[in-house]
C-alpha cells in the first residue's frame, strides 16, 4: 500500500495528471502546443536528473531521506501548477515534478523489491505497479467529471489536495531498505553486454512512452467521434493498466522475463500504429488501451530484470537504466515541439515511436540469441 500510494502521488498525479490537463490548459490559457511539448521536456529533464542522482547512491539512509524529500516535492510541484500562468514558473514546476517522480518509480520500487527479497516473497513488482494505473484512473476521472465545473487552476489544486492525502501512507508505511546478506553478482553482469543492450532497448521504449503519455490523447481529438471524450479514454487506459502488471508477471513466469518484455514491445508497436492507419473511433480507443497495457509491462519487467541482476543495490541499477529511459523522454517532447509546428499534428511522432520500438525488438532478439549461445557453451 505504501508503494502504491507513492506511485499514485509522485507519478500518477505529479506526472500523469498533465496528460488529461494539457488539452484544458491549451484551451483555457495562452499555452501553445509547442510550449506544452517543451513543458513535457522539462518534466523529463527533472526525471533524468533524479535518475542520475539515484544511480550513484549506495547509502540506504540517504536513499530514504531522498525518497521522503521527493514525496514532499511532488505535493508542492502539483500545487504550484495551479497558482501561476507564467511559462517559466511552469517549466520549473514540471522539472521539480519530474525529479520527484523518482520517489515512486525508482526508490519505492527498489524498497519494495528489497523487502520482498529479504522476507522470502517472490521478487516481482506487479503489485507495486498497480499504483501507476490507479494514478491514471484518478487523474482521468477528475478531469472527466469536474472539467465542466472547475477551472484548470482549481483542478490542479484538487490534485494537490489528493496528493496530500496520499503523503501519509507513502511516508509512514514503507519499510526502510536494508543491506542484503551475500556477495554481489553485479560484477559478472557488468562484464557482459547485457546492460549496454538494455540501455538501448529502454531508450527506444522511453521515447515511445513520452510520445504516448503526452500526445496520444491530443491525436485522438482529430477523430470526430472521439472529440471531447479523451478524458474518459484516459480513464479507460488507467483501468486496463491497473491489473496489467499482474498479467505481465504471469507471462514472465510462463515465458521468462526477457520473452515477456519482447512481447510487450511488439504489442506497443501495434498500439502506436492503430490510430494512424485506421481513423475509426474503435481503432483509436484500442490503440490507447493497448498502449496502457504495454507501457506498464515494459517498465515493470525492465525494473524487475534490473533488480534481480543487481539485487544488492537495486535502486542504483534501476537508476542507471532509467537514465537512458529519461534521456529519451527529454528528446521526444523536444522533437515533438518542432514536428507539430511542421505538420500540425503528432502523427509523425507516433510513426517515429513505432520505428524505435521495432529497433528495440531487434535488440532484444539479438540479446536472447547471445544468451542462448552462452548457455550452450
Predicted pLDDT at 345: 63
Q: With bands split at pLDDT 50, 70 and 90, how would you rate the model's confidence at 186?
A: very low
pTM: 0.78
What is the spatial distance between Cα 214 and Cα 131, in angstroms, rounded to a whole number? Answer: 19
Please state which CATH number belongs to domain 2-167+191-368: 1.20.1250.20
What digits encode the pLDDT tens for the residues 84-124? 999 999 999 999 999 999 888 889 988 988 888 888 887 77
Grid coordinates representing 342 are 511542421
User: How far is C-alpha 26 from the chain's CA centre?
Assistant: 23
The 10s digit of each residue's pLDDT in 222-241 is: 666 666 676 787 788 888 88
Question: Rounded to an integer, what distance in angstroms lies between the CA atom of residue 150 and that of residue 175?
Answer: 38
Torsion angle in degrees (nearest 10) through CA of 92, 94, 98, 104: 120
Amino acid at each position: 500500500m505504501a508503494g502504491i500510494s507513492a506511485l499514485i502521488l509522485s507519478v500518477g498525479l505529479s506526472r500523469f495528471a498533465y496528460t488529461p490537463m494539457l488539452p484544458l490548459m491549451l484551451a483555457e490559457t495562452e499555452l501553445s502546443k509547442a510550449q506544452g511539448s517543451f513543458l513535457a521536456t522539462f518534466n523529463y529533464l527533472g526525471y533524468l536528473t533524479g535518475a542520475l542522482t539515484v544511480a550513484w547512491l549506495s547509502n540506504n539512509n540517504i536513499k530514504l531521506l531522498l525518497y521522503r524529500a521527493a514525496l514532499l516535492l511532488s505535493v508542492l510541484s502539483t500545487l504550484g501548477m495551479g497558482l501561476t500562468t507564467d511559462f517559466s514558473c511552469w517549466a520549473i514546476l514540471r522539472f521539480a515534478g519530474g525529479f520527484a517522480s523518482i520517489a515512486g518509480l525508482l526508490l519505492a520500487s527498489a524498497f519494495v523489491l528489497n523487502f520482498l527479497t529479504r522476507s522470502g516473497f517472490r521478487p516481482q513488482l506487479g503489485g507495486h505497479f498497480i499504483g501507476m494505473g490507479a494514478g491514471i484512473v484518478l487523474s482521468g476521472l477528475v478531469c472527466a467529471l469536474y472539467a465542466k465545473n472547475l477551472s484548470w487552476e482549481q483542478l490542479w489544486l484538487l490534485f494537490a489536495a489528493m496528493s496530500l492525502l496520499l503523503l501519509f501512507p507513502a511516508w509512514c508505511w514503507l519499510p526502510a531498505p536494508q543491506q542484503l546478506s551475500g556477495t554481489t553478482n553485479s560484477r559478472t553482469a557488468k562484464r557482459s553486454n547485457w546492460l549496454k543492450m538494455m540501455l538501448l532497448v529502454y531508450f527506444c521504449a522511453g521515447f515511445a512512452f513520452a510520445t504516448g503519455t503526452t500526445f496520444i490523447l491530443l491525436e485522438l481529438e482529430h477523430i470526430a467521434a472521439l472529440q471531447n471524450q479523451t478524458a474518459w479514454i484516459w480513464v479507460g487506459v488507467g483501468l486496463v493498466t491497473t491489473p496489467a502488471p499482474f498479467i505481465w508477471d504471469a507471462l514472465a513466469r510462463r515465458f521468462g522475463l526477457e520473452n515477456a518484455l519482447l512481447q510487450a514491445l511488439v504489442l506497443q508497436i501495434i498500439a502506436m500504429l492503430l490510430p494512424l492507419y485506421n481513423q475509426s473511433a474503435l481503432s483509436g480507443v484500442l490503440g490507447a488501451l493497448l498502449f496502457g497495457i504495454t507501457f506498464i509491462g515494459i517498465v515493470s519487467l525492465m525494473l524487475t530484470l534490473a533488480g534481480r541482476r543487481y539485487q544488492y543495490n537495486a535502486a542504483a541499477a534501476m537508476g542507471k537504466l532509467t537514465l537512458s529511459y529519461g534521456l529519451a523522454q527529454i528528446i521526444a517532447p523536444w522533437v515533438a515541439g518542432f514536428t507539430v509546428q511542421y505538420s500540425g499534428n503528432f502523427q509523425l511522432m507516433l510513426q517515429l515511436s513505432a520505428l524505435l520500438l521495432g529497433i528495440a525488438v531487434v535488440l532484444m532478439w539479438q540479446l536472447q540469441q547471445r544468451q542462448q549461445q552462452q548457455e550452450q557453451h
